Structure 1
């Protein structure tokens, strides 16, 4: 399952000990005179693999564009990857193999099982950049994300529900990741801060639990709103089951529901659903989106539909890693890279993000969100509200 992309000069073990052009001294792991080698961890198999479509395509697109422009500081970027199966055990094994056998400089990570290898990577000072889905991302300073999804509770989600008439809500989260429980608690705090009661916090495993059973629990609470922390693929069956059970939620807010492909398959079940996004949605168009789409078509042609949230988030995270390497200078070290990354104060991924200060991204929420709504026919997303800007909930959890 190991694949080296954009073939570089030698194996990972050779790269780890190779001499660089930095004064003739041994360089950082994964850095040679002509290459910087990264690692990628994500679930390519297992129960949650379907929740991470086109992740590698987003990485390929951004690295491909960088290499076509000369790499970073004249060095090509290469990566090796491991399938972590969506489990902590495989995540730790993958982390060890990428660091000890492939000699990578740092990791890109998109998984719900990052807790498995997080301590190991932090102990060795290995930089990790990716999608923060678990509380562990807020625990280690060597783990950096473009959005603080595991940070201080914010009132955004509660305001979205309350301003659309919601008074009480059921929070539905995945049962496959213990780290998501913390996120659900923060969502609950957001709802209560806006005056929305939390009728229940329910765990659900698609493919193992019955949507009908969960739907009956939701309806029995009498709540008028549903807030989900589930992968998009789980939403149609659940929302259909809630309506079949007699539920008519006035507000459905899906924190992870921006999937245009899903609308083509089951959009009628998602009509009216709200989705907050912290990045520039595809519907906004413009040069930043055009550059992303061009990179996807050129360097990730294996993907039929490049307008996927998973590939865009992977592209953004890879861009952040490359920007940190640029800022680290001609002789990057792991510690120097992390310091340079945290020195970025108005990082915007070429216009795909509102400007962020990376140093505070772990402890502060994303600045502003765009709230999208699925149209009544279930065929398209539209902008329901621009610039829903976050305010921290106090006291913090």
Structure 2
């Protein structure tokens, strides 16, 4: 487990004089300003965020850019003076891709007076239960359905939830000509099973048969054989990329190329050199706007990554975007506060935000008063070009659907 690391993220390190901190769980920010009391991690000129993610362990590779994205967003904010005169400082803990490590990391961050936890992991359930009991806000990327059951959690996306689905993916596959779909999803967690259930419901709602689910093996030849034998013309994958590309290759070799192929892990510029030709024509669905749309906020993201996180190259990695969005959501909550915020007033303020989309970086506008635990309705779809060397957006606007019952 990593020890606490604290840094001021901005153009320069600023010396801070810490004030005596005391929490006031049932007071408003303005009341605390009058009394001079502050929540843990809050001083007159700084506020402390604790980052929790897997820097090591079996899942670490897919989270490589998360801390860098957070660093870039906090750096950009601090360069303009911070929020309400406070610079954002941060420390981080490595959960080692392990549930017990995730819980221990959360405990360490609270012990070090993190005002809130900014989290992206695949094993967060225990820590969000603990942080709820401790009254600590959690913002980030929901990886498990429990995020929708706690009032202290705020997520920039919900991709899977018990008993829920949307029409979006099914509509997209139908638009691309798919009629029979095979799912290749590794059931490494309950979340993966929920995702498979939601995808199946979406496809069937669109009139697309789901003819096979191969989830228990990493033998590419075996998976490919079963999928090809099923007659599927569509594959939806939440599995290791080498398995996915192997199945695509095998289908082409068998004279049975897929009409529609979608992978949840294929939007990453690092993949183009080793996998681009194999992935040509493959789709990815995104809960944020594809960088290829070149929106002003996306240009700011790329510039901030170059300035504050130059070690991440290329910068447009999905985990870095998730880090930026998570940090931006933390900042949005701070902007609801005046004077000395408490954790409770922060959560109340953020719960009152009804139209959050990170200045257009996201394709869904989130109403935190009503959308707790609700699946995303809109997705941006990108395709790897025939040349295999770049991504291209599929349509002028992201595709939005409606909620359906997965059962």
Structures share fold, TM-score greater than 0.5: yes
Listed as ranges, the matches of 1:109-124 within 5 Å are 109-124=119-134
What does residue 315 of structure 2 align with? 306
TM-score by length of 1: 0.90
Question: Distance in 1 between the 2:145 and 2:214 partners?
Answer: 19
Question: Distance in 2 between the 1:150 and 1:130 partners?
Answer: 15
Per-residue deviation, residues 319-345 of structure 1 (Å, max 9, x unmatched): 011011111222211221111112112
Q: Specify which structure has the bigger relative contact order, considering alpha-carbon pairs within 8 angstroms and separated by 6 or more residues.
A: 2
**Are the counterparts in 2 of residues 136 and 179 from structure 1 also a CA contact under 8 Å?**
no
Note closer, same or farther for the CA distance 1:50–1:266 as it changes in structure 2 (3 Å cut). same
**Are the counterparts in 1 of residues 51 and 117 from structure 2 also a CA contact under 8 Å?**
yes
1:190 corresponds to which of 170, 177, 202: 202
Equivalenced residue count is 390
**Are the counterparts in 1 of residues 36 and 340 from structure 2 also a CA contact under 8 Å?**
no
Question: Distance in 2 between the 1:246 and 1:79 partners?
Answer: 53
Per-residue deviation, residues 161-183 of structure 1 (Å, max 9, x unmatched): 12222122122223322222112
| Secondary structure of the structure 2 residue equivalent to 1:179 | helix
Shift of residue 311, structure 1, vs aligned partner: 0.7
**Are the counterparts in 2 of residues 216 and 245 from structure 1 also a CA contact under 8 Å?**
no
Question: Distance in 1 between the 2:98 and 2:359 partners?
Answer: 33
| Secondary structure of the structure 2 residue equivalent to 1:226 | strand
What does residue 316 of structure 1 align with? 325
What does residue 338 of structure 1 align with? 347
Note closer, same or farther for the CA distance 1:125–1:226 as it changes in structure 2 (3 Å cut). same
Question: Distance in 1 between the 2:348 and 2:242 partners?
Answer: 38
**1:4 counterpart = 2:6:** yes
TM-score by length of 2: 0.88
Question: Distance in 2 between the 1:120 and 1:181 partners?
Answer: 24
| Secondary structure of the structure 1 residue equivalent to 2:310 | coil
Question: Distance in 1 between the 2:279 and 2:227 partners?
Answer: 17
What does residue 167 of structure 1 align with? 179
Note closer, same or farther for the CA distance 1:329–1:230 as it changes in structure 2 (3 Å cut). farther
Listed as ranges, the matches of 1:21-40 within 5 Å are 22-40=33-51
Question: Distance in 2 between the 1:333 and 1:90 partners?
Answer: 27
Question: Distance in 2 between the 1:218 and 1:244 partners?
Answer: 13
What does residue 158 of structure 1 align with? 170
Aligned-residue CA RMSD (Å): 2.5
Per-residue deviation, residues 225-256 of structure 1 (Å, max 9, x unmatched): 11112365764345335545665222111233
1:356 corresponds to which of 359, 366, 376: 366
| Secondary structure of the structure 2 residue equivalent to 1:360 | coil
Shift of residue 366, structure 1, vs aligned partner: 2.8
Note closer, same or farther for the CA distance 1:361–1:234 as it changes in structure 2 (3 Å cut). farther
| Structure 2 residue runs without a partner (length 5+) | none
Shift of residue 195, structure 1, vs aligned partner: 0.8
Shift of residue 384, structure 1, vs aligned partner: 1.3
Question: Distance in 2 between the 1:274 and 1:29 partners?
Answer: 44
Question: Distance in 2 between the 1:247 and 1:125 partners?
Answer: 54
2:149 corresponds to which of 125, 139, 151: 139
Per-residue deviation, residues 67-109 of structure 1 (Å, max 9, x unmatched): 111111111111111111212111111111111x211111111
Note closer, same or farther for the CA distance 1:360–1:230 as it changes in structure 2 (3 Å cut). farther
Per-residue deviation, residues 202-240 of structure 1 (Å, max 9, x unmatched): 3257xxx33233223322332221111236576434533
